[in-house]
Structure 1
Amino acid sequence: MGLTSNSLLVLAVAFAVVLFAATLWLWPRLARRSWAALGGRIGLLLATQLALICSLGVAANQSFGFYAGWDDLLGRETAQGVIVDQSATTPGAGGPLQVVNIKAPPGDAGSRASAVGQVQKVDIVGRLSHIATPAYVYLPPEYFQPRFRTRTFPVSVVLTGYPGTAQALVTKLKYPTVARGLAKDGRAQPMILVMLRPTVAPPRDTECVDIPQGPQTETFFAKDLPEAVLAHYRAGGRPRSWGIIGDSTGGYCSLKLAMRHPDVYAAGAGLSAYYTAPIDPTTGDLFHGNRSLRDHADLHWLLAHEPAPDTSLLVTSSKVGEHNYRDTLRLVNEVRATGRTRISSIILESGGHNFNTWRREVPPALQWLSGQLSDR
């Protein structure tokens, strides 16, 4: 039974209800003054509380997509991807990307790819970083239509927060559905979406940093990922063809990658992002005492000490509910002072650090990102 399955949620809730009813039924019988009765009351209370906590945990995981499965939750997700030479009859085949599953976008089962697009689950292995990670790739309907058979498409890399699951980008934030709707209304161009989490070396939170003697996460996103996608899909190969967007940790990574690699990403959007890589139990020692690495992971420091990058940024926050509001205003002013880097913002009156807030920001953010990109 999967960690995100509805069956598990129903079972957890039912078990909690049964324990609660059993507590009410048995409590009068355990009212005697004896060690056995006392132990029974303690056991029932603990079991009921644990069942309630488990039910809430399963429900929260389904809503926010923290963990994709039991192995992910328990830190056992360590299997490496496999490099497969795809059939020569597949356009763009070959390279370190393997398609392992193909589906229609959520809610469009049975529809033709030329009408609704396609979501492919893939495994990607970095040639330089040797990082292996799963991802989801959305191909727009136009990708399968004969009149666009020779066209390349702009690419938007989409990142979750930490820990997050790539699947939540498809099912919870509904990026493919939003992208198709915007293109259908003429508010955005058809784009390839590459959806994954920044935690490409789970369970460690690497903050998209090349860690000394550790995971080379920045190299993966700046070099390996574009190389793998370009080798397999009809994706635009120029910097103006690539953008990146994410929430929370993924937002920080998106902004940093756009600033540090403007030759790869023409634009970066950070939803509820922070602007300096944290050091905590989930990250471990990211910099190994290297002050230069630490400084270059601080977006404020980059704007003050490095040449302003020729890229476009989008930041979001809310006046009530987000902790990054003042820091976001500070970053906007710092970027504007460069005179070269471009920045836009979405500031909500209120909204917490959660999916509900990001669902309000994803449509305008994707529309903005589309406007920064070109497939030629």
Structure 2
Amino acid sequence: MGLTSKKVLLAAALLALALFILTVWLWPRLSRRGLVPVLGRVGILLGTQLSLIAAIGLAVNTSFGFYASWADLFGRNTTPGVVVDHGLGSPQDGGMRVLGTVHQGAPAGSARHGGLIQQVALAGGASKITSKAYVYLPPEYFREPAARFPALLVLTGYPGTAEALYKKLRYPAVNAGQVRAGRARPMVMVMMRPTVAPPRDTECTDVPGGPQTETYFARDVPAQITARYRVSPGARNWAVIGDSTGGYCALKLALRDPGSFSVAVGLSADYGAPQDATTGDLYGGSDRRRRENDLMWRLRHLPHPPVSLLVTSSRKGEHNYRATLRFIAAAGAPTHVSSIILPSGGHNFNTWKREVPAALEWISARLGGTAAEGPASRAR
């Protein structure tokens, strides 16, 4: 059973409860003096506490999506560099292979009413990186076969799980509800984790001699999706949103690659990449590369690109509140910055759930869908 399986969580909780009951039941017998009773007390207390910690840890991981598998948890994904699969996909299908289908909001076979989510593998021609994604196709995609749609790249934090984007933050369901209410346009969503070379946290950076993660997200992903699906090409039709590390990635991709993305949202984002055991040296010892990946430095020292950015924070509970205010102050035309500042809210899914609906409406109003036919493509 997988790390995020509800059966695993239930088993851990039942084990902790059973050991607690056993401790209460056996404690009178183990209260005597002597080596055996002492060892018994130590053993049963240790077992109860470890089982309780395991159950709590599994519950937290299930809620926040820190690790996707046992291999992630125990660090067994240690292969250096990136995965290159030259047999994945073909020139005819744009270097992409459909791995499975998750129907969204309607019974199987009812894509016209509920849309669907496809799990795909995207092979990058420029970056030589292959990674999995979940592609959401809204119901209008099947109702309007002549229409083309704007696209939204959705990124998790580190390490994160892409499944959490549609299961917990519910990006597709939120957009579908807004479309029905007339508050937003339908979008094709590409939901991914930024960890393309696990367990390394590349912070969406082209690492010298390492994973070319920025190239993968800025060039390969839009190219593959546009080739396979009816997505309007060009930066004006592409947006990117992410939380935590994914938020930093989103803002950086728009600022550094405005030819790929014209709109970006950073939910609880940092504005520079850390350097720690998970990242290693991202810049090959180059101060110039480090500065160019620092978003605050870019706004203060480089020309501002014509992109629209949305940043979020909380006055109480978020570590990036003051940095967010400095980021807003540093921006200037033609870069346009908007913000969502909550009175309080921590660095977690509950906070981001409060921000996602407004963020999706904001994105929809700024993307410039270009299709000639169909209401899905009308500019707003």
What is the TM-score of this pair, normalised by structure 1?
A: 0.94
* Residue matched to 1:217: 213
Question: Could you tell me which residue of structure 2 aligns to residue 118 of structure 1?
Answer: 116
Partner of 1:84: 89
Which of 189, 192, 207 matches 2:188? Answer: 192
Equivalent position of 1:26 in the other structure: 26
CA distance in 1, matches of 2:111, 2:72: 31
**Local SS of the residue matching 2:194:** coil
What count of residue pairs does the alignment treat as equivalent?
365
Distance 1:234 1:187 in 2: 22
Aligned with residue 302 of structure 2, among 295, 302, 306: 306
For 1:172, the aligned partner's letter is K
Q: 1:363 corresponds to which residue?
A: 357
Matched position secondary structure for 1:310: coil
Unaligned runs of 5+ in 2: 371-380
Q: Is the 8 A contact 1:318 1:348 kept in 2?
A: yes
Matched, 1:344 2:343: no
SS in 1 for 2:163: helix
Q: Tell me how far apart the structure 1 counterparts of residues 48 and 277 of structure 2 sit (CA, whole Å).
A: 31
The Cα of 1:110 is off from its aligned counterpart by 3.3
Shift of 1:53: 0.6
Matches within 5 A, 1:219-298: 219-298=215-294
Root-mean-square deviation (Å): 1.4
Task: Kindly indicate whether residue 330 of structure 2 is the aligned counterpart of residue 334 of structure 1.
Answer: yes
- Quick check: 2:106–2:115 contact (8 Å CA) kept in 1? no
Q: Which amino acid aligns with 1:39?
A: L
Identify which range, 167-176 or 36-45, moves more after superposition: 36-45
The whole-number CA distance in structure 1 between the counterparts of 2:261 and 2:344 is 30
String of CA shifts for 1:16-73, please: whole Å, max 9, x gaps. 0111111111122112222222111111111111100110011111111112222332
Residue equivalent to 1:100 = 99
In structure 1, what residue type is equivalent to 2:315?
K
| Equivalent residue, structure 1, for 2:374 | none
Q: Which residue of 2 aligns with 1:35?
A: 35
Higher mean C-alpha displacement, 224-233 vs 77-86: 77-86
Q: Which residue of 1 aligns with 2:134?
A: 136
How far the C-alpha of 1:80 sits from its partner, in A, is 5.7
* CA–CA distance in structure 2, aligned partners of residues 34 and 196 of structure 1: 57
- Deviation (angstroms), 1:160: 0.5
How far apart are 1:176 and its partner, in Å?
Answer: 0.6
Structure 1 SS opposite 2:13: helix
Amino acid at match of 1:41: R
* Sequence identity (%): 54
Q: Hey, what does 2:373 align to over in structure 1?
A: none
**Is this contact kept in 2: 1:103–1:109, CA < 8 A?**
no
Query: Is 1:10 equivalent to 2:6 in the alignment?
Result: no
Decide whether the 8 Å contact of 1:83 with 1:95 is kept in 2. no
Structure 1 residues 88-125: Cα deviation after superposition (integer angstroms, max 9, x where no partner): xxxxx5121111111211x5333610111110011111
CA distances 1:304-360 after superposition (whole Å, capped 9, x unpaired): 11111110000000111111111101100100xx33210100010111100000000
**Aligned ranges 1:314-333 → 2 under 5 Å:** 314-333=310-329
Residue ranges of structure 1 left out of the alignment (5+ in a row) = 87-92
Secondary structure, aligned partner of 2:48? helix
What SS class does the counterpart of residue 269 from structure 1 fall into? strand
Q: Which amino acid aligns with 2:117?
A: V
Q: Secondary structure at the match of 2:311?
A: strand
Equivalent residues of 2:106, 2:113 under 8 A apart: no
C-alpha separation between the residues in 1 aligned to 2:26 and 2:363?
A: 60
Amino acid at match of 1:350: S
Contact 1:83 1:97 in 2 (8 A): yes
Offset of residue 76 of structure 1? 3.5
Deviation at 1:168, TM superposition (A): 0.2
Give per-residue Cα distances to partners, 1:163-190, cap 9 Å, x unaligned.
1100000100000100111111111111
Task: Select the residue among 150, 159, 166 that pairs with 1:163.
Answer: 159
| CA deviations over 1:245-289 (Å, ceiling 9, x no partner) | 000000000001001111110110000001011111111111121
Aligned partner (choices 159, 178, 181) of residue 174 of structure 2: 178
Contact 1:67 1:163 in 2 (8 A): yes
Q: Which moved more, 1:66-75 or 1:365-374?
A: 66-75
- Structure 2 match to 1:67: 67
User: Secondary structure of the residue that 1:11 maps to in structure 2?
Assistant: helix
User: d(CA) in 1 for partners of 2:294 and 2:337?
Assistant: 17
1:225 counterpart SS class? helix
Partners in 2 of 1:63 and 1:163 — Cα distance? 14
Q: Which runs of 4+ in 1 moved over 3 A?
A: 75-82
User: Which amino acid is the alignment partner of residue 10 of structure 1?
Assistant: L
Match of 1:205 among 176, 181, 201: 201
CA distance in 1, matches of 2:291, 2:94: 34
Match of residue 372 from structure 1? 366
Q: Residue by residue, what CA displacement relative to the aligned partner does 1:114-148 show, whole Å, maximum 9, x if unpaired?
A: 11111001111111211111110000111111xx2
Equivalent residue, structure 2, for 1:90: none
Which secondary structure does the structure 2 equivalent of 1:286 belong to?
Answer: coil
Task: Give the letter for the 1:104 counterpart.
Answer: H
Provide the TM-score with structure 2 as the length reference. Answer: 0.93
1:16 partner amino acid: A
